[in-house]
Structure 1
Amino acid sequence: MTNILEAIYAIIQNPIFEIKSFYTGRNRANSVGDALENYIKDAFANSFHINDEKERMKLFNENFSWLGSQNNPPDIMIKGGDAIEVKKTQTANTNLALNSSYPKSNINSSSPMITQSCKNCEEWTEKDLIYCVGHTTDTTLKSLWMVYGNIYAAGHETYERIKNTISEGIDTIPNVEFAETKELGRVNKVDALGITNLRIRGMWQIQNPRKVFSYLHIPTEKKFELICIIPTSNYNSFDKSSKNKIESINKVGFTIQDEKVKDPNNLAKLIDCKLIKYII
């Protein structure tokens, strides 16, 4: 089964940074955003070197149970493993736009944002979530941060409390017709003719991990940076073969070290993590 350590190893062994031309040449991308998603899939499936589309699809089928839909998280689910959200920014430190989906420490199959197809793609109730945040130009991948949601975002109840309070407040507006919705609220027939509806949507953002974890890494002007922050408990859960593969890397610019990060739910606590970098 693949995991984040296998993906890190594949990225280091396949130094592909001109991702737009790499994937456009294989008829797999119309934009650098499409190219980034393909890059992450290939990293986790170790399929960078696969030109034959049938063989690549077979590898995806072996490794993934879900490959996402346009407006519903997650983008990727590993069979029996983690879920993955891919985010692209073209300004290094810009906030990440999450739109109507608040930040997730993990994902649950009971979430109303999860499609029925995703719920049924394998036997699962909860998965850890990896945010893969790529900083790109129009053509090139400049940096990639891979961060677990449970050290990046607070627990679901933090965001649900805000969301529910807003929705309940909207419901108290008198003399309007409310409709069932997964958004913050929806008001139908606002005017006398009953021809105008109002959709009330949340537009969530979260700070870029480059800013959130600036106490662990100061960005450089090098060609490419790969920065991965993995809770030690997650790291220890991976296969010994995956850990041996990562720990045996002997390349200039590669480091792995023990660090501590702030607990998103309690600033008085720290969480043990592995900080993995590859800077060239």
Structure 2
Amino acid sequence: MANIINAIINLVNNPINHLTEYYQGRNRANNAGDALEEYVKDMFSNTFEMAEDERLERISEVFSYLGNNSNPPDAMLKNGDAIEVKKIESFGSALALNSSYPKHTIKSKSSMISKACKEAETWTEKDIIYVIGIVDKHSNNLLHLCMVYGLDYCASEECYSRIKSTIKNGVEDIQGIEFTESKELGHINKVDPLGITYMRIRGMWGICNPLKVFDYIYKRDTTKNFSFMCLINCDKWNSFNNCQELVDLSNLVDTLQIDDVKVKNPDNPAQLINAKLITYYR
């Protein structure tokens, strides 16, 4: 079963900076965003340099679901974690999540996920990995890659759903309008006296990128062409059976490092969580 440890090992062993050039040359992507998603598939399935038919077969063995931009997540590992991929163009940029609020974990009963995702395998809840790539808008080079778990990055669902429900309930209390349920926050009909105007209400969520959120434990070396940062809480780290492979690789590769750190609990910053900080550069 593939996991985030495999992905890190494969990233170190297969250095690719020119994402668009690499994946366009194999007719797999037309832009940097698509190329980043293909790169993430290759990292988790170790399909770099494979012939396309072999690659597709291997990807189908590793992933139970590959999604689209309309519904989270972007992918799910078979019997493993969910994955959400985001491309940004600067180190200060926030992540645009649109109508989907941040995910501490992802649940099969969520109205935001597709039927295909719900039925991809037997599951009720998965941890979610946010994979953020910073791509230079001029050269399309991958400058930095970051992987963090929603567990360590986002508050629990109740934090966000409470805000959503409060806004929705407030709109419903407005007198003289017709409120309709929708996948968005709501749909208001008959706003005007003729009853011909409607209004859609939708949330547009965003979140600071992990480089800013975790700047108290990690600072990127701006002199390097490419850098990588991954944060895994110790409970999650201890659940994997292949961590020693990554430890052994870090003993061979000088620029790959694993450190013990403490990070703030997203639900209660007064509490600190033990975690592993994995960094790499080239």
SS in 1 for 2:71: coil
Partner in structure 2 of residue 4 of structure 1: 4
Moved more, 190-199 or 76-85: 190-199
Cα drift, residue 192 of structure 1: 4.1
Per-residue Cα deviation, 1:149-192 (whole angstroms, up to 9, x for no partner): 01100000000110000000000111111111121111123234
Partner in structure 2 of residue 14 of structure 1: 14
Aligned 1:85-234 pairs, distance under 5 A:
85-138=84-137, 139-221=140-222, 222-234=224-236
SS in 1 for 2:68: coil
- Root-mean-square deviation (CA), in Å? 1.0
Q: TM-score, normalised by structure 2?
A: 0.96
Partner in structure 2 of residue 247 of structure 1: 247
Aligned 1:22-61 pairs, distance under 5 A:
22-50=22-50, 52-61=51-60
Moved more, 77-86 or 192-201: 192-201
In 2, Cα distance between the equivalents of 1:93 and 1:130? 20
Cα drift, residue 219 of structure 1: 1.4
Aligned length: 277
2:238 to 223, 236, 239: 236
Determine if the alignment matches structure 1 residue 270 to structure 2 residue 272.
Answer: yes
Question: What amino acid maps onto 2:104 in structure 1?
Answer: S
Per-residue Cα deviation, 1:51-100 (whole angstroms, up to 9, x for no partner): x2211111111000110122100001000000000011001121111111
SS in 2 for 1:157: helix
Question: What amino acid maps onto 1:20 in structure 2?
Answer: T
Question: What amino acid maps onto 1:14 in structure 2?
Answer: N
In 2, Cα distance between the equivalents of 1:157 and 1:126? 15
Question: What amino acid maps onto 2:141 in structure 1?
Answer: T
In 2, Cα distance between the equivalents of 1:2 and 1:43? 10
In 2, Cα distance between the equivalents of 1:20 and 1:69? 19
In 1, Cα distance between the equivalents of 2:20 and 2:278? 25
Cα drift, residue 195 of structure 1: 3.4
Moved more, 256-265 or 183-192: 183-192
Cα drift, residue 114 of structure 1: 1.0
Question: What amino acid maps onto 2:79 in structure 1?
Answer: G
In 2, Cα distance between the equivalents of 1:245 and 1:20? 30
SS in 2 for 1:80: coil
Cα drift, residue 49 of structure 1: 1.9
Question: What amino acid maps onto 2:119 in structure 1?
Answer: N
In 1, Cα distance between the equivalents of 2:165 and 2:184? 10
SS in 1 for 2:93: coil
Question: What amino acid maps onto 2:131 in structure 1?
Answer: C
In 2, Cα distance between the equivalents of 1:17 and 1:69? 24
In 2, Cα distance between the equivalents of 1:44 and 1:196? 48
In 1, Cα distance between the equivalents of 2:174 and 2:26? 54
SS in 2 for 1:276: strand
> Runs of 5+ in structure 1 lacking a partner?
none
SS in 1 for 2:67: coil
Partner in structure 2 of residue 71 of structure 1: 70
In 2, Cα distance between the equivalents of 1:158 and 1:126? 18
In 2, Cα distance between the equivalents of 1:191 and 1:184? 20
Runs of 4+ in 1 over 6 A off after TM superposition: none
Q: TM-score, normalised by structure 1?
A: 0.97
Cα drift, residue 245 of structure 1: 1.5
In 1, Cα distance between the equivalents of 2:199 and 2:232? 42
